[in-house]
Structures are given as structure tokens and as C-alpha cells.
Amino acid sequence: MDSFEEGVPAFARVRNSVRVVTEPSVGEERMRYIVDAILKDLGHVRREEILAIQDYPRRGVYDVTFVGEGVFTSFWRILSENQKDARLVGYRIFPHFEQEEVVLIIKSYSPNVKLKEVELVLGKFCEKLIFVGRILNGLGIWTSKFRFKAKFKKDVKPPARFQLGTWSLDIFFSGMPAFCKRCRMYGHKEDECTVCRNCGESSHDSKNCRQPKKCNLCFEIDHMYANCPKRSEKPERNTEGRKEDDPSESQVKEIPVEPIVKPRVKEDKLLDKEEKVKVKRKKKQEESIPEQEHPVSSAGKLVKPRGRTRGENLHRYWSDRTVTELNAYIQRITDKEEIAAVTKIIQEGGGNEVIRGKVLEYFKTLK
């Protein structure tokens, strides 16, 4: 299989697609071979999982688009593990887009694990790491799982399981290679495992390992997890005084979040019914006064001009941001009505820019 750089021109790239290149031919004989031998027999892809095949037989080019990311990543993983298969002789296959960013799901077997420590371990394997949020069940209760977006370092993948003290955490991501269920490492199966879980060598087991044990948080050998200095470091505080490692904040560090997009505190909850009526009446009076025509009241007092609504602020801020940044913000929305409205817009489809425009228009209607 060829490298991505030798692949598809930028103008012709399609998501969840691969390009198959072979000798030029006439007719559908080679396309049938690609569908039956490479996609079905080798890649375990059913015909109903193929969205389209754009064939250029006289050039020996076949662009295969799958129905979803799951089918694409599964096929590409199988293909990556069987590059020397005889069925691939004479065929070069590469993805339309290089797979760089993946979604990581971290399952913790203890809800007391600190997000900061999870990020510290994952950072050893990731060039880029963004915390998306905690995964909730249908009742809105945390499942003890975290979601991240990550870009792995070159030729590096995080282990399928790692430890923080006595707690175990499992890692799942799209395109994940098969791993040993005993040592949680890649490249072999459980019945073939001879790997020491302490030093990683295959000449002995962990019970007979003579190498010093490492801290499973910072990977240093002069101390263990319980005494790791990284645990005692105080987390930095932001301008609001909240801890950066608080998993309830769902912060994305790479996207600057201005004050205009932070949820306002609903002080109305602290008021009784009579006070609420007074506040609403006062707001209506203020909004009824045009900003330019009546800057001063009849009593000579300055009238505070009406500020922009939260929706207008959101629309103004995210209009200048990319689709990727807007999508990351959407995943952090917690209001159920807003989630339902945005989900409906996305399901209607129409392309990224169309969906982006509709979402921004919806933001503008928020109070």
C-alpha cells in the first residue's frame, strides 16, 4: 500500500473513501475482483456497506466510498494488518484523507480517578489531546468514561489498558489494532503472550522481573504512584477560579472561549414570584427605549442601553470560527433543548457549510 502523499488530489478527496490503483483495463472484471476478493473476502465489507464506487478502468483507478466511518476504519485496520496478503498483489490502496485525529474513549474502573492524571498519561503518546467531556447514560448519570480527541505521535499508540495506582483504565479508539487481553499490548494474542508487564521484555514474566518498577503516572523509576510529585502539583486556576482538572467543566484548551459564550447565572431562581415580575417589567421598559433616540430619561438620568443577547453574542463569536471549532463547542452543550435543536439541524444534512449556517442562525434566536 502506498503512502498518503502519493494518493488522491485534494480536489477529489471524499470522506470514508479509499482509492484502489491497478493496471488499466476494459470492462468490469477488475472492479468485480476488488469488490469480491479485496473488500468482501479480505476486508469483510458487505455490498450494502459500500456507498459508491467511482471507476476509471482505462486509468486503473477505483474510488470506493463506504457508508460510514466505522466501516472505513474497520477495513483500513484489516488492510494495514495484512499488507502482504496475496490478494493485494498488483493493487495499491490508500485513503482519501490521512487519519490523524481520532476519538479516544477512556473507561475508568474507579470514578475517583482525576482527569489531570489521565491527561498526563495520554500526553506521553499524543501530539495533540483535547478533552471533549464526560459520557453520560440515558438518565444523565456519568458512566465513569471520558471522551477525548487526539492525534497520536508518529508510530506511537497508547496501550489498551494502563494503571493509575491500583486503578485500571481501558482505552478504545477507532481503527484500534487487535491486542492481547493479558498484557493489553498490540501485535500478539493472549495464548502467545510472554511479555513482562513491568519492563515489556518477553524473556520473563512480571513476577521474575529484575528491573525496577516504574511509577505508572510519570513513568519514572525513583518512586511509585502513591508518592509521585506530579500528583501533589496544584492545578492551575483559570480566571473563574475553577480547577483545570475538574471533569465537569468539559473544557477544550485549544479553543479560546470568550466571556460572551459562558453561560450566565440565572439569578431569577433566587427571586420569588413578585420580584420576578418586577425584573421582567423593568427589562421590557429598558428594551422599549431606542438606544440612540433616548439615551437620557425625562428625569435626566442615563438609561442603560440594551446589551446583546447571549444568542447574538454566540452568533457573533462563532461566525469567525472554523467548522471544526464550532463542532467541538456543540459537543460541549449541556442544555437539553439546545442539544435537541442542533441535533435536528445536523440530521437534516446539506453539507458542512449549510449546517454551520443553520446552527449560527439558531444561536442568534437564543435569549
Concatenating the DSSP letter of every residue in 318-347 gives HTTS-HHHHHHHHTT---HHHHHHHHHHHH
The full 3-state SS of 192-243, as one line of letters, equals HCCCCCCCCCCCCCHHHCCCCCCCCCCCCCCCCHHHCHHHHCCCCECCCCCE
Q: Which pLDDT tens digit goes with each residue over 310-319? A: 888 888 888 8
pLDDT digits (tens, 9 = 90+) for 346-358: 888 777 888 888 8
Q: Which CATH class is domain 4-95?
A: alpha beta
d(CA 132, CA 243): 16
Q: Is 56 helix (H, G, I), strand (E, B) or coil?
A: strand
* Ranges of the chain with pLDDT below 50: 1-5, 234-271, 289, 291-294
Structure confidence at residue 356 (pLDDT): 83
Q: Sign of the CA dihedral 304, 309, 313, 315?
A: negative
Where are the chain's structural domains?
A: 4-95, 101-232, 267-365
Q: Is the pTM of this model over 0.85?
A: no
Q: Are 146 and 108 in contact (CB under 8 A)?
A: yes
DSSP of 93-123: EEESS---EEEEEEEES-TT--HHHHHHHHT
